[in-house]
């Protein structure tokens, strides 16, 4: 059961995921979380570096969909200016939003990666339907109430995985 919480990859920052790396893996689509994955949870817009990253991803023909548990207003106000489709109130780790994103992008599971900062939502949700999952270090150290709760559980899971030799990166 705990292997469902194990990401396929771990990176420090979303900007460390290059379009070339994705193309080499045969990736044609990205499902990404918003808050603390792309930008801080309280930052309303994309940073210049993130806009440049989006452009480089799109130039390689890779589709991006933001899948967030946040409200329509929050996700739409971030996504619309950068021209990225989104799904809000996703209820991750439930799989419905992930399946909808796959259908909207017209891609197969093996062609898509999930990028997120939480084991209990992004990684678990992606792993439940067989997507390649990439865990990023959160861009902000502050979180809302439920995310703080999730992070405590995540630390326990990560500690157990580390002791069992399942992960090989530093937190």
Domain ranges of the chain: 2-163
Note the pLDDT tens digit of each residue in 73-88. Answer: 999 999 999 999 999 9
Could you report the per-residue pLDDT of 10-68, keeping only the tens digit for each? 999 999 999 999 999 999 999 999 999 999 988 999 999 999 999 999 999 999 999 99
Question: Which tens digit of pLDDT belongs to each residue from 76-122?
Answer: 999 999 999 999 999 999 999 999 999 999 999 999 999 999 999 99
Partners of 38 in the beta sheet? none
Distance CA 64, CA 66 (A): 7
| Close Cβ partners of 24 (under 8 Å, ≥ 6 residues apart) | none
Q: Which range has the worst mean pLDDT, 35-44, 99-108, 124-133, 150-159?
A: 150-159
- Say if residue 149's pLDDT is above 70: yes
DSSP letter string, 91-160: -TTSSHHHHHHHHHHT--GGGEEEEES-IIIIIHHHHHTT-EEEEE--S-S---HHHHHHHHHHHHHHHH
In 3D space, the residue among 90, 107, 167 whose CA is nearest the CA of residue 135 turns out to be 167
- According to DSSP, the residues that pair with 115 across neighbouring strands are 32, 134
**Greatest CA span in the chain, whole angstroms?**
44
The CATH number of the structural domain formed by 2-163 is: 3.40.50.1000
Helix (H) or strand (E) holding 20: helix 19-24
- Bridge partners (DSSP) of residue 63 are 29
Given this model, what pLDDT does residue 163 score? Answer: 80
Spatial CB neighbours of 76, under 8 Å, sequence gap ≥ 6 = 86, 88
| Beta strand 29-32 pairing with 86-87 | unpaired
Q: Where does the pLDDT of residue 141 fall: very low under 50, low under 70, confident under 90, or very high at 90 and above?
A: low
pTM: 0.88
> What is the pLDDT, as a whole number, of residue 55?
98
């Amino acid at each position: 059961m705990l292997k469902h919480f194990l990401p396929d990859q771990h990176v420090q920052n979303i900007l460390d995921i290059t379009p070339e790396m994705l193309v080499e893996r045969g990736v044609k689509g990205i499902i990404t979380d918003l808050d603390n994955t792309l930008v801080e949870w309280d930052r309303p817009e994309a940073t210049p570096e993130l806009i440049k990253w989006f452009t480089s991803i799109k130039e390689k023909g890779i589709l991006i969909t933001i899948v967030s548990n946040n409200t329509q207003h929050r996700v739409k106000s971030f996504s619309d200016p950068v021209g990225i489709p989104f799904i809000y109130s996703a209820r991750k780790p439930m799989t419905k939003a992930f399946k909808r994103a796959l259908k909207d992008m017209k891609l197969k599971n093996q062609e898509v990666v999930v990028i997120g900062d939480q084991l209990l939502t992004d990684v678990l949700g992606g792993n439940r339907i067989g997507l390649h999952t990439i865990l990023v270090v959160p861009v902000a150290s502050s979180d809302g109430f439920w995310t703080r709760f999730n992070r405590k559980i995540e630390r326990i899971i990560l500690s157990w995985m580390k002791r069992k030799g399942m992960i090989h990166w530093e937190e």
